[in-house]
Amino acid sequence: MEFLLENILNLVGFLVGLVIGIMSIIGFRNTGSPTLFRLTIAFFSISIGFFVIWFGYMLEDFVIKSGNIERWIQTLGIIIQTVGYFFIAFSHSIKSFFPKSRHFRSIGIFPLFVVSSVQIEHVFRSVSFILLAYGAIETMLSYFENRNRGAISVAVGLALLALGEFLGWYSFVFPESILYSVSITIKIGGLIALFIPVSKVPLTKMKFDEDIE
């Protein structure tokens, strides 16, 4: 039952990411916004990552039948999703909020060395968490400065994605628990929160760059 639930949730994540990616590219064509172009790459990457993992579950269910998804397939999906998270986090924060202090940047890199001795999935989940948590914090700081309502939805979306990645990492510690399914559900919620400001672009032609930068 848990295997089926994880399969379905990854399929839902693929579809949600795909829809948001399509909306982003429509917004990019209507506005020419560089940020929307980056977000298009981000959401399509996340969608493809979900698809790869879902395909791994389907392959296991109908062909391999070993009881577990192939590790290299799951690793590939996580790496592709991390690429998407990179574009999301830096679309929202790199231009205005990237730390100028070398010391501060070194703190952000430090966790990578801490987890470098464990499996590669842990490394990329750690990278994703750092990127998303950083983006969420900086977006909230942007809201306090500009009082832009769109920033709240973005910050919530990034925070949910970060929490989902953290629980996804923790599910490796307790592989038989429901944590992995919970992490996917939370990540889907994060994508939906990010969809709110994106969905307004093609309809109102708002200046999306100013809202999220």
Tally the domains of the chain.
1
Cβ neighbors of 108 (< 8 A, separation 6 or more) are 99, 130, 134
| Contact yes or no for 78/125 (Cβ under 8 A) | yes
Give per-residue pLDDT as tens, 67-86.
Answer: 677 778 888 998 899 999 88
| pLDDT-based confidence at residue 212 (cuts at 50, 70, 90) | very low
* Of 107 and 140, the one with more pLDDT: 140
Q: Quote the pLDDT of residue 98.
A: 42
| Contact yes or no for 186/13 (Cβ under 8 A) | no
Q: Quote the pLDDT of residue 113.
A: 43
**pLDDT of 211 above 60:** no
Average pLDDT over residues 134-157: 80
Name the amino acid, one letter, at 78: I
pTM score, two decimals?
A: 0.77
Question: Measured in whole angstroms, how far is the alpha carbon of residue 52 from the centre of its chain?
Answer: 15
Residue with the two structure tokens 């839902």 = 12
Closest C-alpha to 184, from 78, 69, 55: 78
Q: How many CB atoms lie within 10 A of CB 44?
A: 21
| Contact yes or no for 56/69 (Cβ under 8 A) | yes
**pLDDT of 56 above 80:** yes
Q: For residues 24 and 27, what is the distance between their CA atoms, to the nearest angstrom?
A: 5
- The residue range of the domain holding 174 is 2-212
| Contact yes or no for 129/183 (Cβ under 8 A) | no
Share of the chain residues as helix, strand and coil, in percent rounded to the nearest 5: 85, 0, 15
| pLDDT-based confidence at residue 110 (cuts at 50, 70, 90) | very low
Give per-residue pLDDT as tens, 1-55.
Answer: 566 788 888 999 999 999 999 988 888 888 888 888 888 999 999 999 999 999 9
Burial class (CB in 10 A: 0-12, 13-18, 19+), 65: exposed
* Of 60 and 53, the one with more pLDDT: 53
**pLDDT of 63 above 80:** no
| Contact yes or no for 161/188 (Cβ under 8 A) | no
| Contact yes or no for 136/166 (Cβ under 8 A) | no
Give per-residue pLDDT as tens, 147-177.
Answer: 777 778 888 888 999 998 888 877 766 666 7
Q: Quote the pLDDT of residue 202.
A: 53
**pLDDT of 128 above 60:** yes
Q: What percent of the chain has pLDDT over 70?
A: 75
Q: For residues 191 and 168, what is the distance between their CA atoms, to the nearest angstrom?
A: 16
